[in-house]
A and B are shown apart, each in its own frame.
Chain A
Amino acid sequence: MLDDFLIRAALAGIGVALAAGPLGAFVVWRRMAYFGDATSHAAILGVALALATELPVGLGTLAVALVMAATVATLSGRGWAMDTMLGVLAHSALAFGLVAVSFLPSVRTDLSAWLFGDILAVSVPDLAFIWAGAALVLALLLWRWSALLTATTNEDLAAASGIDPARERLILTLALAVTVAVALKVVGALLISAMLIIPAAAARGLARNPEPMALLAALIGAGASLAGLGASLAFDTPAGPSIVAAAALAFLVSALLRRA
């Protein structure tokens, strides 16, 4: 079954969506959209470093995404407005990544695969990496769900209940870095934060409580992955952007439903 590249692609898309949906809900609730951008753009730098040192790409992106996420978490609240600082970090990570990649001829030729994903080329080991990462992210979120949600609602209330908000932030940071590493192959560095934010935003209007919103975000993301893949086949469009476009249409429908 896994011999069919289409099945592998569909499973890869669903795997990413299942992790990115619930995590994306937290990204939306905590207004961390730029944080997601900074972390995912740093992935390109991770690709360059991994290829230069002949390490697995997944490991390189994971390491750089972790460093970036930790940097952002540490720098936040140190004088700069958060959006300014994240704007600086997100775009410089991307720029340095692209510069680093230019020193590696093998990647240079294939740059768009790293920027926009190459879901149709997902191999069986890639698939294992994606599902292992997605399972790790979901396990982290489930394990910490109540504490994460309390800390997201109000940090002081959480602290008064014996929850350490800094620890919960760290958990989310870790989950974000893993998701970036996992999603790189599927939608590419530029569109990872789209897979975090758009399904969650689409789910917002349809949910009255956090859990349904997270679940819906996962389902919308999975649906968008399949629809995007289908569109990519039918119209010969790039798969990663088609998936994000499908998610955006789901958001539009949800927004219209909310109005109605």
Chain B
Amino acid sequence: MTLIAAHHLAVRRGRDEILSDVSLSVAPREIVTIVGPNGSGKSTLLRALLGILPAAAGRVSRKPGLRIGYVPQRLQVDGTLPLTAARFLSLPRRRAPAEVAAALERVGVPEVADRQLADLSGGQFQRVLLARALLTEPELLMLDEPTQGLDQPGEAAFYRLIEEVRSRTGAAILMVSHDLHVVMAASDRVICLNRHVCCEGTPRVVSNAPEYRALFGHGTQGALALYRHEHDHDHTHDQCHHA
């Protein structure tokens, strides 16, 4: 069973083809991470899967009635808009105060309920966004660079929280990231994207793929080091393909 899938998806902005021939799928309880350099179309892919951007070719299919929780990349709330974290959690659907408090408690920031969204730290803000996404009891959680702007301990704590969410709620997770270091360890499957799918597979397979090394080669010693000690890779499991 598949929750969401892209079939030969292409997305254009003007004449520019940002994504071409992207196929992927996410199964229940899976943690799938999309990695890729800046401008590789990672956010575009998430937004196309969500239906925010139209497909220029191919299509997106979802399990009927799929509940998605979405955590966008670096949300800016205008300073002219007064908005407490608690009120934000009630958008667009009204939630009971107890439900809001429980959601904030679950992500570890019960103290921010009455604080202005604009005054929260980066880490608190990401947790509030996650709390809002979890209120819909999602079967699929989509996160766009959720740890951007967090320091290393904050980043690690956030990924632990994500893992915890998966094991508690059973939600599948599709996230975009460029901090390979942590991501590789936490994912079941990694999709390496550079306007098309360069390679795909378990973290171990991807980190050994030549396409992946061509994209991330020298800058990712740490991420590769995580897997290099298991030098038993086997190319029959390697799903990498050139576009």
- Interface positions of A (Cβ within 8 A of B): 28-31, 146-147, 149-150, 152-154, 156-161, 163, 201, 204, 207-210, 212-213
| A156-B91 contact given A208-B84, A208-B116, CB 8 Å threshold | no
Prevailing SS type, chain A contact patch = helix
- Contact mask for chain B residues 71-98; partner A; CB cutoff 8 A; 1 contact, 0 none: 0100101101111100110011110000
- Which of B47-55, B158-166, B183-191, B210-218 is found at the contact surface with chain A? B47-55
Q: Are A210 and B72 in contact (CB under 8 A)?
A: no
Per the bound structure, the CA–CA distance linking A221 and B50 in Å amounts to 41
Contacts A156-B47, A159-B51 given; indicate if A204 touches B80 (C-beta within 8 A): yes
- For B51, the chain A residues whose CB sits under 8 A away are 159
Separation of A163 and B47 alpha carbons in the complex (Å): 14
Q: 23 A-B Cβ contacts within 8 A?
A: A29-B78, A30-B78, A31-B80, A147-B92, A150-B92, A153-B83, A153-B88, A154-B72, A157-B70, A157-B91, A159-B50, A159-B52, A160-B52, A160-B72, A161-B92, A204-B80, A204-B82, A208-B82, A208-B84, A209-B82, A209-B83, A210-B81, A210-B82
Distance, CA A208 to CA B51, complexed state (A)? 33
B interface size (C-beta, 8 A): 24
Assembled-state Cα–Cα distance A134/B83 (Å): 26
The 3 closest A-B pairs by CB, nearest first: A160-B70, A150-B92, A159-B52
B92 touches A156 (CB 8 A): no
Give the residue name and chain of the A residue nearest to B72 (CB): A156
B68 at the interface (CB under 8 A from A): yes
| CB of A172 to closest CB in B, whole Å | 14
Q: Which residue of B lies closest to A146 (CB)?
A: B92
Known A153-B83, A210-B83; contact A158-B72, beta-carbon cutoff 8 A: no
Residue of A nearest to B76 (CB): A154
With known contacts A29-B78, A156-B47, A209–B84 Cβ distance under 8 A: yes
